[in-house]
Chain A
Amino acid sequence: MNLTATTRRAMGRLSAAVGAFVLAFGVLALGAPAHADVVNPELPYKVSGNVQNEGIGVNGVLVTVTGGGGFSAEVSSDAEGKWTVGVPERNADYTVTVDESTLPDGIAVVDNPETEFVESNVQTVTVGPGGRVAMNFFIGQGERNTVSMVDQIVQRLISGLNFGLMLALASVGLSLIYGTTGISNFAHAEMVTFGAVVTFGLVGILGDSALPLAIVLAIVLSAGLGWGLDAGLWKPLRKRNTGLVQLMIVSIGLSLAIRYMYQFFIGGGTEQLPGSDAPQIALFGSVKLSVVDMVSMGLSILLIIIFGWWLTYTKIGKATRAISDNPSLAAASGIDVDGVVRVVWVIGSVLAGFSGILWAYFRPGIRWDMGGQILLLIFAATTLGGLGTAYGALIGSIIVGILVEASSLIIPSDLKYVGALVILIGILLFRPQGIFGRKERVG
């Protein structure tokens, strides 16, 4: 058995402690809200890992880490199967042992389902110059179960669909705004965060039971935000004939200002909305969804259908598409461009705010920069579908959502956004008009 190779493969898997750091540094990687059980946090170097049963963390498994100089520490895995032990030295070997008697009955440490390496419950890891190492254990019935792999894929696809629908709500707004005004709106991320932060603030005032009311009010306020941004900033800039690049940089400045304003009000930590810990209900196979997940998917689909109907059949919807196509011609044929653009900002802001609330449940948690974490995914989805096309943004979002969730089956989950970003670049290179865009849109 090639131990170092095993270790290296294992490190490629999700490391819980790194996940925690990732969140602590306020960066993109999604991960679960890792509250890994930590022993000896004061020691400088870390051994961490994950005990998984068919991809699901196993709680309360006793893990012992021993090393040179009589070092020994015991840790229990947390509800997500994660554990972390601080160790005193780097460039040293440590032995990690899983106490199999603390595993649920009838299962044992088995092969890593993604590699051919046999794993035993006793492993040696080397803490290298980086000062941290991950050792993950896979628990199961003793043999690889192909059905469970299928289930895992199904679970990922459903999760990805949920994520994609949420992205779609944000993307169609961004795409419409781009289509009608030409602005690459970087502040869209802050419009997403707005919905979640305002809901959180209102729940704080009105109490947990008033969550539906808080959500409705947050959406009304989101509409107000969109209206205010257009009336106070973007319309005056249109009147000045400000260039598109300038508008883009204005949106970046706006994004910075609003983002740090959120941090000013809610601080740098993560907050939870009521119901974010709703239990998961087994549906079929190993597919589990919480009530919140199901309601969130249902509402997303409903909103998207209403939006699609609005865009296709109403007078303003038709005018919106006309302006996306050719603003001058639309204006010449008597369409009130400024009025329609105002409506687009309001609708875009409402959809973004609602997707922010869903994002707060999907992550889960509210952070000042939560919108910024998915901004590039929103751009990727919008670009994939074709900038300026609302239906394209919808399809693009679902593709990106499923891709991000499913890719963590193959690549380490702290790299799952990289796939989406690579697609974003690839699309811009080979088909910048996107799947549904038309070639003449690209200058």
Chain B
Amino acid sequence: MDFLGILSSTASFILDPTTMAYALAGLGLAIHFGFAGLLNMGMAGFMALGAYGYAIGILTFGLPWYLAAFVGIGASIVFALILGIPTLRLRGDYLAIVTIAAAEIIRLLLLTAVFTDVTGSADGLTGFNGTGGTVTNPTPGAGGFNDANPIPSGEYGFEPFLDNERTWFIRIVGMLILVGATFAVWRLVNSPWGRVIKGIREDEDAVRSLGKNVFAYKMQALVIGGVLGSLGGLLLALSTNVNSSVYVTSLTFFIWTALLLGGAATVFGPLVGSVIFWTLQAFLGLVFPALAKAGLLPFSGIQAAQIRFIIVGVILVLLVIFRPQGIFGNKKELTFVK
């Protein structure tokens, strides 16, 4: 068993765009749930809008990539408003069911054969990032995200982060977005605005009695978190194809697990949680099949690869029961309002 190889592959996930996308979505969810107390179970829908908005902006509307990115962000703002205006007055668990249903509606609309010309139906969309598409998916020519790469071609870095200029470009862009978003969230939650939404989380009526417009604050939180989620989706779209099979309910649950792992009511919790979650996923996904192959586990490699998802579920259960505040959370900051 190539244990060093497994560790190296695992370590590469620390800088993987997927990890950063999860971290961004987790940051959005931290605003929704950790700070404002909104039970958003539809984060996958916000991410899908960010990714598809970007891809459709390029392929259907012919926008340059940097403008197309705003199509996804705009779509998520509209989605947050449509979702929020009627639902923010609902009780917590009702909001959870509405958001999960809304995210499923988005996914089904992206999947249906009716809009194949725009969404690519079950095949998803490819070839929108400029030069560098595959043979079967020719690119629409220069001008895409990959063509904006200022890094000269070549291999950079050191193992396990030795990669070509395209990978490094997406890593750097992702890192810039992530650092910017984290800083913005840190400033926000420590501002007067942040104190108000934390107050809403703890006791909505108390905040209302101080003359604050609770609904408006909740809506702002929903929009800001949703935009962060769509940025996560955008980052996924920059690094790979978009396909509706990614933006399923399980994605939302995985982000929840990563968030709760780090600590829902913290700024750095979602970041650290995502890194731990993804590297753990990658590690378990490699180590179990390797063990099975070496004959140390009595089942097939495909079965071995499934074990990690079972473990994720168990981790989520144990976390919520025994350490609901997460690794970095403060028990006094009640994230689970009754």
Contact = CB atoms under 8 A, between A and B. Distances in A.
B105 A422 contact: yes
Given A418-B109, A421-B105, A129 B59 contact: yes
Contacts of B310: 256-257, 260-261, 264
B235 to A, nearest CB: 22
Given A253-B316, A256-B310, 14 more contacts: A12-B113, A12-B114, A14-B113, A21-B123, A130-B117, A130-B120, A130-B123, A248-B96, A249-B256, A253-B257, A379-B97, A380-B101, A415-B114, A429-B86
A313 B256 CA distance: 43
Size category, B interface: 35 or more
B313 A257 contact: yes
A15 B116 CA distance: 11
A22 interface: yes
Interface string B223-248: 00000000000000000000011001
Interface string B308-338: 0111111111011100100000000000111
A131 B126 CA distance: 11
A134 to B, nearest CB: 6
B302 interface: yes
Contacts of B299: 264
Contact of A376 (B59, B90, B104): B104
Nearest to B123: A131
Nearest to B312: A256
A18 interface: yes
A29 B108 contact: yes
Interface in B186-207: none
Given A21-B122, A44-B136, A418 B93 contact: no
17 contacts: A12-B113, A15-B113, A18-B112, A18-B116, A21-B123, A25-B122, A27-B107, A27-B248, A246-B324, A253-B312, A256-B312, A260-B309, A376-B104, A379-B97, A415-B114, A425-B101, A429-B98
A184 B310 CA distance: 21
A254 interface: yes
Interface stretch (A96-104, A141-149, A236-244, A317-325): A236-244
Interface string A416-443: 0110011011001100100000000011
A132 B121 CA distance: 9
Contacts, number: 189
Contacts of A258: 313
Contacts of B250: 256
B313 A260 contact: yes
B59 A257 contact: no
Contacts of A18: 112-113, 116, 121-122
A421 B93 contact: no
B216 interface: no
A379 B87 CA distance: 17
Contacts of B102: 421, 425
B260 interface: yes
Query: Top 6 nearest A-B pairs by Cβ distance?
Result: A257-B313, A253-B316, A256-B313, A21-B122, A260-B309, A253-B317
B146 interface: no
Contacts of B324: 246
Contacts of A243: 336-338
A414 B303 contact: no
A267 interface: yes
Given A18-B122, A132-B123, A432-B90, A252 B316 contact: yes
Interface in B25-80: 39, 59
A67 B231 CA distance: 41
With most chain A CB atoms within 10 A of its CB, the pick from B97, B257, B260, B337 is: B97
A306 interface: no
A428 B336 contact: no
B306 A428 contact: no
Given A22-B111, A256-B250, A245 B121 contact: no
Contact of B113 (A128, A263, A412): A412
Nearest to A417: B108
A254 B338 CA distance: 21
Interface string A247-277: 0111011111111110110010000000000
A331 to B, nearest CB: 19
A383 interface: yes
Contacts of B311: 257
Contacts of A417: 104, 108
Contact of A245 (B93, B113, B118, B321): B93
B252 to A, nearest CB: 9
A428 B122 contact: no
B94 interface: yes
B97 A11 contact: no
A233 B109 CA distance: 37
Contacts of B317: 250, 253-254, 257
B251 to A, nearest CB: 12
A415 B108 contact: yes
Contact of B98 (A255, A415, A428): A428
Given A184-B96, A418-B108, A245 B39 contact: yes
B185 interface: no
Interface in B239-280: 244-245, 248-250, 253, 256-257, 260
Contacts of A11: 113-114, 116
A259 B324 CA distance: 23
Interface string A4-34: 0000000110110010011011111100000
A132 B59 CA distance: 16
A28 B108 contact: yes
Nearest to A18: B113
A306 B97 CA distance: 30
B93 A128 contact: no
A36 interface: no
A393 interface: no
With most chain A CB atoms within 10 A of its CB, the pick from B257, B317, B319 is: B317
Contacts of A246: 320-321, 324, 336
Contacts of B87: 425, 428-429
Contacts of B108: 28-29, 414-415, 417-418, 421
Contacts of A198: none
Contacts of A421: 101-102, 104-105, 108
Contacts of B107: 27-28
A107 to B, nearest CB: 26
B316 to A, nearest CB: 3
Interface in B279-319: 299, 302-303, 306-307, 309-317, 319
